[in-house]
Amino acid sequence: MLTTTGTLPMSRRHWPRLLAVASLAILGSYLLYTEHLVREIRAEAQVHTRMYALVQRGLLSLEEDGPLAALAGLQGAMQELGVPIVVLDAQGRPSAVANLPFSPDLNTAEGRERVVRYARRLARQNEPIFEPGAGVIYFGHPPILRWLRWVPWLQVGAAVLLLWVSLGLIRADLRAEREQMWAAMARELAHQMGTPLSSLAGWVELLRMPASERAALASPEHIAREIAADLDRLERVSRRFELIGKPPALTRVPVAEIVADLERYIRPRLPRLASGVDLRIRVQDPALAVHGNRVLLVWALENLLKNALDALAGRGGRIRVAARRAEDGWVRLYVTDTGPGIPPHLRDRIFEPGVTTKAGGWGVGLSLVRRIIVNVHGGRIITRPRRGAGTVFQIDLPGDDAAARARRRRGALGWLRHRKEAGAGLGGRQAERSASAPAGY
């Protein structure tokens, strides 16, 4: 059964709704704007069609004033297009105007001057037309062009809005995941510290008893050993969480030592954690070593083993831990069990904080494993169903040889950059050296 812990922030719950509303609003505005442009284009097409019909009527008319009536109708149809037009005669005086944004008065000098100034503005929009016998024709943009100019700005604005909302959603998800991760780690810390603290509280109560009663229950040496063991467990827990909170030092760690620490911890607890479980650990080559942190790697494998033991609780089964050499100097570890396996719908999310298959689980163990393997050690971890039944966790870690090669490669790149900079600084002197000069000359 899947249980997800933690309460999502209110803003994170609202982000998808806000994104959906913004997307619908943008889509609706596009539809309305496009519909408006379609209506404007259809209106212009109707006017052009009517103009063509007027020309044809003037050409085919047998009446004496037919051509003049057609021209008058054509002029009226042109005014419906809304294109501003100014005609200046050979002397530069306005002789005809149409669709101006003001009411021109061609009978006054001031009115004519205003029209001439507007004609200069139209000349900056479109190249004037020189028509012999008529003068110079200035014209502006059709009204639909002003609407079309807003389309790129609307597209850019919509893209910026969606990008902003998407980035906000991603940041909210990352922040919520971090908060959920730290909350789960705090619960895990409290859980791991609870057992030794409870044990210490019991030993303190025992020490408060009268010496005669205490002697019958435990000797002072036994009490001291148990208190030392509890303090050692507390120190190990605090050390682990200290290392997971900052970049730890990575050194050469033999795989045999990691699995030995793991076995020393698990073996004594095996009957209590899950009875009837057969645990076997095998390392292909005792010389196998990884570049990592011993404490954190043991913790990661310990969490995987506890996860396998929980899966086998009450039913028994087998757990296998194996390590072998992989390609390119990497080391591959397997942790397999014969439990019920991970439900298919959880396999892609099993490493997320708060996701667990256990009723009442906190979903922190496997997320810690991924953080240790991937974030801290630069490794890889995948899970897949075991043939027959159960689960396989496969871990790839950079071996000591792979890490050494990476360090040498980084060193070589740094040396090449240094040589390049030094060569650029020497300038012409380096160019004067003979191409046949021996190395190190």
pLDDT of the residue at 403 = 58
Q: Which fold has domain 248-403?
A: Heat Shock Protein 90 (3.30.565)
3-state secondary structure of 254: strand
Per DSSP, what are the bridge partners of residue 277?
Answer: 317
pLDDT of the residue at 81 = 73
Q: Where are the domains of the chain?
A: 10-148, 248-403
pLDDT of the residue at 9 = 44
What stretches of 209-353 show up as alpha helix (H) in DSSP?
Answer: 211-217, 220-244, 255-266, 270-273, 294-312
Which amino acid type is present at position 333?
L
CB neighbour list of residue 290: distance below 8 Å, 6 or more residues apart:
252, 253, 255, 258, 297, 331, 377, 397, 398, 399, 400
Distance CA 368, CA 364 (A): 6
List the chain pLDDT tens, one digit each, 441 residues. Answer: 334 444 444 445 566 667 667 777 777 777 787 777 777 777 777 766 766 676 676 666 667 777 777 777 767 777 777 788 888 988 888 888 888 888 888 888 898 899 999 889 888 888 888 888 778 888 888 777 777 777 777 777 777 777 777 777 777 777 776 776 676 667 666 766 776 788 888 888 888 888 878 777 888 888 888 888 778 778 777 777 776 667 788 889 999 999 998 888 888 777 777 678 888 899 888 888 999 998 899 989 988 988 888 888 777 888 999 999 988 889 999 999 988 888 777 777 777 766 666 655 556 678 888 888 998 889 999 888 888 788 899 999 998 776 555 555 555 455 455 455 544 443 443 333 333 333 332
CA 291 to chain centre: 29
Distance CA 288, CA 254 (A): 6
